[in-house]
Structure 1
Amino acid sequence: MIYRANPPAVPAPLSRLFASPRFASALTLVIIGFAFGTTTLRALIGPPGVVGVLVGLVVLAAFSLTARRAGVDWHGLLPISIMVFVGWCALSVIWSGYPLHTISASLYQLAFTFLAIYIALARDTIQVVRATGDVLRLLLGVSLALEVLSGLLLDLPIAFLGIQGNIADLGPVQGIFGSRNVFGLISLIAAVTFTVELLSRSVRRGLGIGSVALAVFGLLLTRSPVILVVALFVGIAALALTWLRRTPAESRWRLQISLLGATVLTGIIAFAARGRIVEQLNAGSEFEARYTLWREMLRLATLNPLEGWGWAGLWPADVTPFGWLSFVTERLQTSGLNAFIDVYLQVGLVGLVSFLALVLLAFWRSWLLASDKRSLVYVWSPLVLVILLVTSAAESNVLVDFGWLLLLICAVKAAQGKSWRSLLQPSPRRYPE
């Protein structure tokens, strides 16, 4: 009789299943769909149900990554900036005034971090773009269908999903995403994704054109001044990338420096003229509410300037200081409506610096890849990062759920192509033929 010293942890048929490209493709679709649909899932199955689904996805991703480990490209993994920020958020449990919330928020963040790393390792960039496009086509279609049902057929709001049924008045609409700004943000990500799909010929021409039209229609129906400003930045970034990609390689660095200088100058001018810009966008009352919130957040942040109050992710309404901030603004706040101030409040100056390092490194690496690589699919990451970063001045979506997932996917993909650690690795030995 023969005894096997180390029996396999997973039966061979299951191992083949977890290692198969079809399983990775299907799991990627489910993960991205879950990340974009968390608001709806919380309304349908509650936070415990969302956590249960998240745990199940992490387990499946772990099995899949283990089964595929021999064929995974580990180059550039893991960006140190990600490890520093996530580690600091987890470490904040030591001084947090709400340790249980910090522990749960850190575990939630770590779960999405692992899922993002899995997608970045298991799928190529074009496969990530296709998966995102397939998910967003479905979610945008469902959102607009429910808006039509609510606003035209039933003439009743769908309260538990936050759908007010304003489509008869051409908006603003929220879809299944909870607010018009989030719907606009997702529509803009969809528009970029569908355009890259169309121009890279990864989908049929008719499907691509129809998808872009769907995203633009959803974007316009939100009537969100914030997202219109973000769309302007994305358009400028797309034109700059087109210019760079058509510039000869030997002259490209001069153009990069010129664009960087123009960006900094524009930022200074926009900051100086922010009051006039808000007035022209007719967003005065909304901006005043946000400004009141941000001013109070900054005041509270100065009480714990280096370490912050403790990581919380989505704000728990029943603890200090988040309950106080909702009281001051006379509305229930689930985030700081500004990712940078939100990070400063929760994890202090150390956390803010590490977060800025994460997003700026991810953007710079992905921008260089998009400038240098011939394939059009590399344009997707920097444009998505432009959307996330500019929107972060008015929303905190980049810190949780789909925003955090996309940020890390782009960061890991960019690190695989432009990691400084590749300079430390010995070049492959060449043998004479």
Structure 2
Amino acid sequence: MKKLLLFAETCFVIFGLTFFTGGLALGGSEDGTTSGPVPVIVMTAIRYFIWLVSTLLVMLNAKRAIITVKRDWILWLFIGIVLFSFAWSDFPQWTLLANREVLQMTTFGLYIATRFSLTQQVKLYAMTFAIGGLASAALALGVPSIGKHLVDHPGAWKGIYDYKNTFGSMMVIAMVSFFALPIEHPRDRWLKWIGIAGATALILLSTSRTALLLGVAMLAMMTFYRNFRWQGRKSIVLGSLGVLVLGSTVVGVLSNWTELLKAFGRDPTLTGRTYIWSVALDRLWDRPWFGFGRSAFWSPESPYPKAIGYYLSQSFNAPHAHNGFIEVALDVGLVGLALFLICYVIGFVMALMKAYGSKHPEHLWALGFLTFLALNNVTESYMLRLANIYWVLFVATILTVKQKVPAFEDERERVPEVSQLRQFSESQT
């Protein structure tokens, strides 16, 4: 009976994760008028089913959930500001409706962090994205009218997702999760590399250049983290060196971004993104401290989307900021953005400490995902916009990496320098 319940819970988590990737809707039309072949009422029912079940499971594990919640009060303060932002929104009803997504994503992320160890989480993520990749390949080959772009990007694979860039992004996360997959049996090593190779092939078939660049960058960085991590205090030095090298690389790229983009056949304005960023940042100073309220800036009744989009096309309404950090600032202002960045930076440092203080590959997950999240949000709004997998994984990862003492009696979860990490964690709380 216990094994049956565990299997059912595993299926539920994979089902929920796939929902937040958008994969259950089986894509959408290229003009954006429909959400996919699955009826909206069915997707709504699935949404509330996942929310209800995850809430009940959190309540059944209330004692452990409270311990998990206490790991990061800054995260909960940020979420509280987001949820309360309807109070200063010009469109409070719109913001209230949008905030249901925040509650749903956060609840599911809290459930994962409460119920599963780091090792179990990485396995669940790898299984989820492996299923998503296989289903996408089957749909692209078997039903190309759904699994491929036919008009805007003829031949590009999007699989079960709504767009080729989304598909590519999911496969980059798949690469990270397979890279961090623990090796408990000899066959696991083959599974890791088959998963990474398969995800890479699907990224190429998506024709998403952003995903390809991210994939190459993440593979290089994860390989560096794995092969050059040291034990003890020297890990901090190496971590700082890695950040320095990465920062130098970013500066170099930004200094020559026009030439690089032209080399890749891209518009130096990033298809109008720089104009959207410029106007959005200008408008942010109208409400700098707490922003416009979640999603209010891009509400259908807001004058800003049409004004920004008119510059690019007379019939175009800009849907979002195309930058996750700007999007957060528009939602909850500089105060909210500062809270998010503090939460992120502390989580990143702790992920760095754990990755360099462990021999187990699963401890690379948090460092890899947080790195990917930052890079991926430079040109896309993949943070809090709509219901998405990124916020679910962020909440689960942050609450897991910030645990003071391994919450599960599993030797794989024990970091060799646990006393050092414990002191560091306590200094951050």
CA contact (8 A) 2:159 2:167 kept: yes
Identity of aligned residues (%): 19
| Worse-superposed segment, 404-413 or 22-31 | 22-31
**Separation of aligned partners in 1, 2:298 and 2:39:** 16
Please give the secondary structure, in 2, of the residue aligned with 1:287. coil
Q: 1:195 to 1:423 in 2, by over 3 A?
A: closer
* Matched residue, 1:233: 217
**1:90 CA displacement:** 1.8
**1:177 CA displacement:** 1.8
**1:288 CA displacement:** 3.7
Aligned positions of 1:17-416 closer than 5 A = 20-37=5-22, 40=25, 42-45=35-38, 49-69=42-62, 74=67, 77-151=70-144, 157-158=145-146, 163-164=149-150, 171-197=155-181, 199=183, 201=185, 204=188, 207-245=191-229, 247-284=230-267, 287-312=270-295, 315-330=298-313, 331-399=316-384, 400-416=387-403
Q: How many pairs were matched up? A: 400
CA contact (8 A) 2:305 2:317 kept: no
CA contact (8 A) 1:19 1:68 kept: no
Please give the secondary structure, in 2, of the residue aligned with 1:337. coil
**Separation of aligned partners in 1, 2:213 and 2:88:** 38
CA contact (8 A) 1:35 1:402 kept: yes
Q: 1:338 to 1:389 in 2, by over 3 A?
A: same
CA contact (8 A) 1:58 1:111 kept: yes
**Separation of aligned partners in 2, 1:114 and 1:223:** 34
RMSD: 3.2
**Separation of aligned partners in 1, 2:188 and 2:228:** 28
**1:224 CA displacement:** 2.1
| Worse-superposed segment, 218-227 or 285-294 | 285-294
**Separation of aligned partners in 1, 2:91 and 2:148:** 29
CA contact (8 A) 1:150 1:164 kept: no
| Worse-superposed segment, 205-214 or 250-259 | 205-214
**Separation of aligned partners in 1, 2:309 and 2:79:** 26
Per-residue CA deviations over 1:280-330 (Å, capped at 9, x if unaligned) read: 222216714212222221222222222211111894444333344344433
Please give the secondary structure, in 1, of the residue aligned with 2:289. coil
Q: 1:73 to 1:344 in 2, by over 3 A?
A: closer
Structure 1 length as normaliser, TM-score? 0.82
| Worse-superposed segment, 187-196 or 115-124 | 187-196
**Separation of aligned partners in 2, 1:52 and 1:419:** 42
**Separation of aligned partners in 2, 1:136 and 1:163:** 21
CA contact (8 A) 1:89 1:311 kept: yes
Gaps of 5+ in 1: 1-15, 152-156, 426-433
Gaps of 5+ in 2: 27-34, 405-420
Q: 1:248 to 1:411 in 2, by over 3 A?
A: closer
What letter matches 1:340 in structure 2? F
**1:93 CA displacement:** 1.0
* Matched residue, 1:4: none
CA contact (8 A) 1:244 1:252 kept: no
Please give the secondary structure, in 2, of the residue aligned with 1:307. coil
**Separation of aligned partners in 1, 2:352 and 2:121:** 17
**Separation of aligned partners in 2, 1:202 and 1:81:** 41
CA contact (8 A) 2:226 2:364 kept: no
Per-residue CA deviations over 1:362-401 (Å, capped at 9, x if unaligned) read: 2222221111122211112211222221010011123241
